[in-house]
């Protein structure tokens, strides 16, 4: 397994690479004579190897990665969810399957009690949630409306 060693570039080297990129050093194929000349000049001026400069060009051309946003939970907890949570904390070595079986064996009155407690749990106000969550919620709602 090969391990890549990250080469830290100085601010001056990055500035130089940026200026060459602006001048047209956006590719280094055989048919791009101007790009190859600029690549050679950049290698000489920065003191970096040709491979490192080529890798910098590839990374520069890549689209910026999207940040992961917080998952938007659409529904409130159910009585079953509260029971399962309580069951798994009381029985840490048990499985979800055992919790499901225990839920099925509960008397209806106990199930109603869990459902009542679940309905009393208030959802946090929309404006009290993080901005990223709000944006995600709005975009999901818009998408649902457009799909109608």
Domain that holds residue 123: 79-147
In Å, how far are 49, 82, 89, 105 from 36, measured between CA atoms?
14, 64, 63, 74
Q: Which of 46, 24, 26, 28 is nearest to 36 (CA)?
A: 28
pLDDT in tens, 103-123: 999 999 999 999 998 888 877
User: Per the structure, how many domains does the chain have?
Assistant: 2
Claim to verify: residue 58 and residue 87 sit in the same structural domain? no
Does the global pTM surpass 0.85? no
Claim to verify: residue 49 and residue 97 sit in the same structural domain? no
Claim to verify: residue 84 and residue 129 sit in the same structural domain? yes
pLDDT in tens, 62-117: 877 776 665 656 677 888 988 998 988 998 888 889 989 999 999 999 999 999 98
| Residue 67 resides in a domain | no
Claim to verify: residue 90 and residue 142 sit in the same structural domain? yes
Claim to verify: residue 134 and residue 96 sit in the same structural domain? yes
């Amino acid at each position: 397994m090969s391990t890549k060693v990250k080469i830290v570039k100085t601010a001056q080297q990055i500035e130089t690479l940026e200026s060459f990129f602006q001048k047209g050093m956006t590719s280094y194929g055989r048919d791009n004579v101007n790009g190859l000349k600029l690549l050679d000049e950049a290698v000489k001026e920065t003191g970096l190897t040709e491979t490192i400069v080529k890798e910098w060009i590839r990374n520069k051309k890549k689209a910026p990665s999207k940040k992961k946003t917080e998952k938007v939970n659409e529904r409130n907890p159910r009585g079953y969810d509260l029971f399962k949570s309580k069951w798994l904390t009381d029985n840490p070595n048990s499985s979800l399957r055992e919790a499901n079986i225990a839920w099925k064996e509960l008397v209806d009155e106990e199930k109603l009690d869990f459902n009542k407690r679940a309905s009393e749990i208030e959802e946090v106000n929309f404006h009290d949630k993080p901005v990223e969550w709000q944006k995600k919620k709005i975009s999901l709602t818009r998408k649902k409306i457009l799909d109608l």
